[in-house]
A and B are shown apart, each in its own frame.
Chain A
Amino acid sequence: MFRKSIVLLISVSLLLAACAPSANPTSVPTATEAPATEAVTSVPTIIEVPAKPIKLTDGLGRSIELPGSAQHIVSLTPATTEILFAIGAGAKVVGRDTFSDYPPEASSVTDIGGSMGKYNTEAIVNLKPDLVIAGGINPPELVASLESLGLKVYFLANPTTMEELYTSIKTVGSLTGDESGADNVVASMDAKAKEVDAKLAAITEKPMVYYELDATPFTAGPGTFIDLLITRAGGTNFGAKMDSAWAQISLEQLLLADPAFIILGDSAYGESPATVSARPGWDALTAVKNKMIFPFDDNLVSRPGPRLVDGLEALARLIHPEAFK
């Protein structure tokens, strides 16, 4: 027993010592500038702007004050990352969550975790950001624990309408000093959305659309952006009559409603027209018989960001191709 304890202690000490080289990860930036590995599309010119304090109320009802516009930002959600890059603040993003994959430039920004809700707080602290932007999917505990480390966190609540989304984008613009960039993005989004509206002005019917979020199956219920976009794209959302935003449905309900379109938001998880047709009983659906099953990039409609209007257009083209000839 004595020997065993000694062996244990020695092994653990050796483990400790041996950990030195293997535990060395990405190098820690000792200065406060962005990591050298970041590739930016445009080199920001340093304009000396007099620092104007910013004071805004965030989505948790707190008043957030910044001495000047944020220059080193960590984004905790993919939607925020897309917004930041779209408004021209991409160079200011020093850290982003794992799932931020758009635009492609975001991939070269330091990954600070985020899968299963766990972020690498040490990595965030090491980046020395002057602002962390949290999103609707981040729980208040996370915001609190980041703030307890001395970080400034702005909670961007999830918008539920296009107008709220435009406000969100402009808010981000105010935080980063890219107000004009934000206005541009909003203007172009609005223009595009209205263009789609115009094209759809003459449609006579709104076919029923079943948008699948998950193969269980789950669909998007009322009050979601998907519901909003489908409606605006000239369709009727099958999920609109459900009780909750993330609604489990049954084949029976689908058969009764018999939607004209099946749009697979879960195509990234392996669902395809082939797999759907193969599901027992689903071949009775009109949409399956007519092969009106379409894979779809869910990120275009589920991330509350600039590409939402792209999602709108994509949906409209699917549902009313005749309006886009």
Chain B
Amino acid sequence: MEIRALKIEGLTVFYGKRCALQNITLEVPRGLVMALIGPNGAGKSTLIRASSGILPLQSGKIRTNGDEFSSLTPIERARVLAVVPQAVALPPAFTAWETVLMGRTPYLNFLGQTSKTDEDIVRHALQRVNALELADRRVGELSGGEQQRILLARALAQATPILLLDEPTAHLDLQYQVALMQTICQLAHEDHLAVMIAMHDLNLAARYADSVALLVQGRLEAVGSPAEVLTPERISQAYHLPVQVVPHPFQQVPLILPGG
């Protein structure tokens, strides 16, 4: 089976003189959810952005499906990698439907005309995230959770094998956090997407991710299964906070508790 995936090799990114990411090497195969965790400022968002090709790289390569990402045109890139950003400052006047339709851009002709196929895909994407009834509502009227689902639907409409998410649970209520993570797991496991998701909630990461990558100050401290990475020593050191890691009461995953 051909593993078509996202390979990040030796990625280094500078913001001015400051090194934001140093020599990051990661691989996200299809069918897998990788959680990027780390304290604020560690570089999680930067890694997401750099992987999507919108930041200049000091050094390193990104490979998607074996191709060098930088050699692809913007349209080609958009067909292979989609990003779900945080739901902030979205244009309020577009409806949810119109917003999700934007995700079809890489497949439209130069005038931006959509076909029935595009509309079917949009409808399907909205159903997937349980937001079809929001289709005609203006995005500005939607709640944070609803907006985030719309953005996920948009990325789905882009129909890419690789999906990157930048802290999608950041401002969501608990039920939305869980619903979102469950949907993402489905997408990875059932639709065989390669999913990399930056998140700050360690327990959510432990519960839903297949693989966890810990970023601290731009460096990749550890990558592996949740149990491997989420050890008390590592977490305490990374977050400057003593933590305890206990087995989760009903799931086979670690549970991180602050306080030593």
The reply, when asked whether chain A contacts chain B directly with Cβ atoms under 8 A, is: no
